[in-house]
Structure 1
Amino acid sequence: MTTQSKAKWLRFLVLILGGGTIYKLANLKDAFYVPIQQYMGLSHTELGTLLSANAIIATALFVVGGYLADRFDTRKLIPLGLIGTGSLGLYLATFPGFDKLLIVFCLLAVCADCIYWPALLKAVRNLGEDNEQGRMFGFLEGGRGIVDTLVAFSALGVFVAMGSGEAGLKSAIVFYSLVDIIAGIVTWFLLRDNKAAPVVKKEASLSGMSGLLEAIRIPGIWLVSFNVFMVYIVYCGLTYFIPYLKDIYELPVALVGAYGIINQYFLKILGGPAGGFMADKYFKSPSRYMKWAFLALLPIMALIMLVPKGGHFIYIGMAATLSFALIVFTMRGVFWAPMSEVGIPQRITGSAFGIACLIGYAPGMFAYVIYGSILDHFPGQQGYNYVFSLMSLLALIGFMVCGLLHRAVRKNIATVQHTALAQA
């Protein structure tokens, strides 16, 4: 391996470090849902409101972030996003009131989703040659999952070492913050843009508005978008398996944190590759795989709701909820793949993804508030039964939406084959 190649992969590892840590503060609920409620005095609804506010700002500023990434040097934007996030985390560790927390979570979205994320994607693209793009982005997602898990378990270790109480939670937040700041500083010194952005041929380019208008007129885009919407709104419900195990199965707080890390991070490492393998090898179609995966969620959720409650059945409860979550993560791993199946033209890919992201990720703006409000209004098992029943209903709707998507895919394939035969 040449010196230049070693330098490239070193920079790539630095990018993975930042990408695997920058969202930890905005997603503290993944490992510390119960301690946050206990020591920051937040209800389910208030915590859901913070998550929704973060998602709203992130969605609103996504286009702005893309502009900034094209306008300014990624070597400046990436450290700025990381250090800004870490600084907000240090303030978060003082446990400010709800009104100030709302501002902090909005600013976390500015730093992570507007300043950092588009710049990260551009930096990864610039690190690799054209024939390396698939590997680079594949390694990025897999690497982020590994860093997610390692950093989160390290923070949980800090929490336990400091007594698993208020001091432990503050220390864990400070740990996340310092990792972000250190990653930002290291990135500043190691990251360099090693090639210029590709030049787009004039005859192959479309204006943003004309590409958007063309994309809007393609029915397949809407089916893909609503399919992503249904996967994501069910995914948001996975968060509530964490307090469920604590409240109903009496799982210790530290073990609840470990479960949350596995539920939200480790399954990402397994789910993405597993979903892709099954979609390609066994179902021969991502849309067909997701259709039946939605249906498979229903009996597993029924099992979750029917398993006897209490500490004696904790391992059955954990296995059932993790099985449900794993299927959801396999779907997340392939829910963008139908873009090619429905025949989206390559020249409007950006516009298509813009529409799909806006619709598909929309549940992040309201799902947590809905789920949290249900749990606050109906404490105990009754509230969880309502939440899990709602998730089952949404999975059933997802099955129907994905059925329509798969029908559109088959129609597009038939059209392409007919056209090919006519031209032969």
Structure 2
Amino acid sequence: MSNAKPIRWFTFIVLVIGGGTVFKLSSLKDAFYVPMQEFMNLSNTQIGVALSVYGIVQTIGNFASIYIADRFSKKILIPFSLVCVGLIGFYIASFPSFYGICIAWGLLSLFGEVVYWPVLLKAIRLLGDSTQQGRLFGFLEAGRGVVDTIVAFSALGIFILLGENAAGLKAAIIFYSLCVIIAGILAYFLLEDDKINTTDEKGREISKNKAAFNGVIKAVKTPEIWIVSLTIFTIYSIYCGLTYFIPFLKDIYGMPVALVGAYGIINQYTLKLIGGPIGGYCADKVFHSSTRYLRFALILAAISILIFIFMPHEKLNIYFGMSLTLGFAAIVFTMRATFFAPVDEIQMPREISGAAMSIACIFGYSPQLFCFALYGYIIDTYKGLLGYQIVFGIMGFFAILGIAISTYLLRRIAIKKTQNNLA
């Protein structure tokens, strides 16, 4: 570590503040689902449609971010996207029609997922060298969890203080909006400008547009980034299944309503705070490879979920069931915190980090387009324990698939290192 690149922690903190506030408006349902229905006159279906619009814009838009993320400096893109998200929040606070809500959530996806997120991941990667990637992404997840918790509970406090009515909901939304705008202003004044390389491989001067386009082509032609994307795909498919531990514990274990909130807070916030640093530390210090750690964690997840499927759940204590599910979720959160770190391990050129991260986002996050619907359909169709066992079995299948893909990725990394050493 004596030759390790010093991490610019001040820049890291600025990035974490933005990362912890940018998605509060798009995830408004997490804390205000019922108030949204009551005061914004939205049905379950309408909220679902708005979230579907969000996912569609994200998936399609990330193809554009392959170019955008390396064409413009983070000093421009990060503040611009954060301020735009905040301004959209003020529009949402006016309680627009359902079609206005759909447009708003589409725009939140455009500025949050398409413009902001790949650039944030790129900026985090460039803060450290290959020996620090696991910790950087792990602490990013933990830091976002801290900011997310503070902002979310503050907004909830405002809502309660104002009487849990329409005015309270508007005030909470405006609070979210102000937080993200302030984060954008801080980012503009505190982030340094990127130096965009405007020379090609032969040393000839080219335009920034040409340089960005060349980076897109180079990233697309790099097979390892597609393998990293598939690894993320399998882990995110497992992560989607964690949502269904709550109805599982309620239906099979008879978890009291009073425990649902406590379980949700632990699952949503505490595990993120703990899993991020642990996953990052293990990747950098124990396994000395993010990919090796991900494979190990996938093996652990596969064994755990397969054993879990065949346990006599209807005879077990509720607290034991909660411990089992939270333990499995903790393993998944350590992977979720570090699954972008292998982008550095495959020796992707740093000047095309934005394009690489965008490709990873496109396919890595794509399970959200079908996993929630698939898992929900199975549970509704196969009543009782059987439906959950099928869902957990699918999660196990994705874990086994992830083991195979990460093993292949390790082989590709070894071949690439050998080739570079010979050169």
What TM-score comes out, normalization by structure 1 length? 0.75
Whole-Å separation in 2 of the counterparts to 1:380 and 1:34: 26
For residues 328-382 of structure 1, the C-alpha deviation after alignment (integer angstroms, 9 at most, x for no partner) is: 1111222222223333334443332232222212112222222222223334433
Matched to 1:183, the amino acid is C
Q: What residue in structure 2 maps to residue 3 of structure 1?
A: none
> Contact (CA 8 Å) 2:298, 2:403: kept in 1 or not?
yes
Secondary structure of 2:21's counterpart equals coil
1:302 and 2:306 correspond? yes
1:182 and 2:178 correspond? yes
Matched to 1:293, the amino acid is A
Cα distance, 1:398 vs. partner? 1.0
Q: How has the CA–CA distance of structure 1 residues 379 and 108 changed in structure 2, closer, same or farther, with 3 Å as cutoff? A: farther
For residues 227-256 of structure 1, the C-alpha deviation after alignment (integer angstroms, 9 at most, x for no partner) is: 111111111211222332233333344532
Whole-Å separation in 2 of the counterparts to 1:341 and 1:119: 19
> Contact (CA 8 Å) 2:137, 2:338: kept in 1 or not?
no
Whole-Å separation in 1 of the counterparts to 2:287 and 2:326: 23
Q: What residue in structure 2 maps to residue 198 of structure 1?
A: 195
Q: What residue in structure 1 maps to residue 386 of structure 2?
A: 382
Matches within 5 A, 1:95-114: 102-114=102-114
Whole-Å separation in 1 of the counterparts to 2:123 and 2:168: 29
> Contact (CA 8 Å) 1:294, 1:395: kept in 2 or not?
yes
Q: What residue in structure 2 maps to residue 327 of structure 1?
A: 331
For residues 82-114 of structure 1, the C-alpha deviation after alignment (integer angstroms, 9 at most, x for no partner) is: 23135426638xxx77x7765554343235334
Matched to 2:369, the amino acid is M
Q: What residue in structure 1 maps to residue 402 of structure 2?
A: 398
1:207 and 2:211 correspond? yes
Q: What residue in structure 2 maps to residue 365 of structure 1?
A: 369
Whole-Å separation in 1 of the counterparts to 2:315 and 2:35: 20
Q: Which stretch shows the higher mean deviation, 270-279 or 144-153?
A: 144-153
For residues 164-199 of structure 1, the C-alpha deviation after alignment (integer angstroms, 9 at most, x for no partner) is: xxx68x798556513312314545775643554435
Q: How has the CA–CA distance of structure 1 residues 42 and 78 changed in structure 2, closer, same or farther, with 3 Å as cutoff? A: closer
Cα distance, 1:387 vs. partner? 1.4
Note the residue ranges of structure 2 that are not aligned, 5 or more in a row: 1-8
Whole-Å separation in 2 of the counterparts to 1:378 and 1:77: 43
Whole-Å separation in 2 of the counterparts to 1:116 and 1:41: 29
Whole-Å separation in 2 of the counterparts to 1:303 and 1:175: 47
Q: What residue in structure 1 maps to residue 248 of structure 2?
A: 244
Matches within 5 A, 1:310-349: 313-349=317-353
Q: What residue in structure 1 maps to residue 6 of structure 2?
A: none
Q: How has the CA–CA distance of structure 1 residues 188 and 261 changed in structure 2, closer, same or farther, with 3 Å as cutoff? A: same
Whole-Å separation in 2 of the counterparts to 1:49 and 1:332: 26
Matches within 5 A, 1:248-263: 248-253=252-257, 255-263=259-267
1:269 and 2:266 correspond? no
Matches within 5 A, 1:401-420: 401-417=405-421, 419=422
Cα distance, 1:136 vs. partner? 9.0
Whole-Å separation in 1 of the counterparts to 2:218 and 2:125: 26
Q: How many pairs align?
A: 398
Cα distance, 1:139 vs. partner? 6.3
Cα distance, 1:25 vs. partner? 4.0
Q: What residue in structure 2 maps to residue 4 of structure 1?
A: none
Whole-Å separation in 1 of the counterparts to 2:116 and 2:420: 40
Whole-Å separation in 2 of the counterparts to 1:354 and 1:14: 21
Question: Identity of counterpart residues, as a percentage?
Answer: 39
For residues 287-321 of structure 1, the C-alpha deviation after alignment (integer angstroms, 9 at most, x for no partner) is: 12211211111232235434554697221121111
CA RMSD of aligned residues (A): 4.3
Note the residue ranges of structure 1 that are not aligned, 5 or more in a row: 1-7
Matched to 1:53, the amino acid is V
Secondary structure of 1:91's counterpart equals coil
Cα distance, 1:325 vs. partner? 1.3
Whole-Å separation in 2 of the counterparts to 1:110 and 1:334: 24
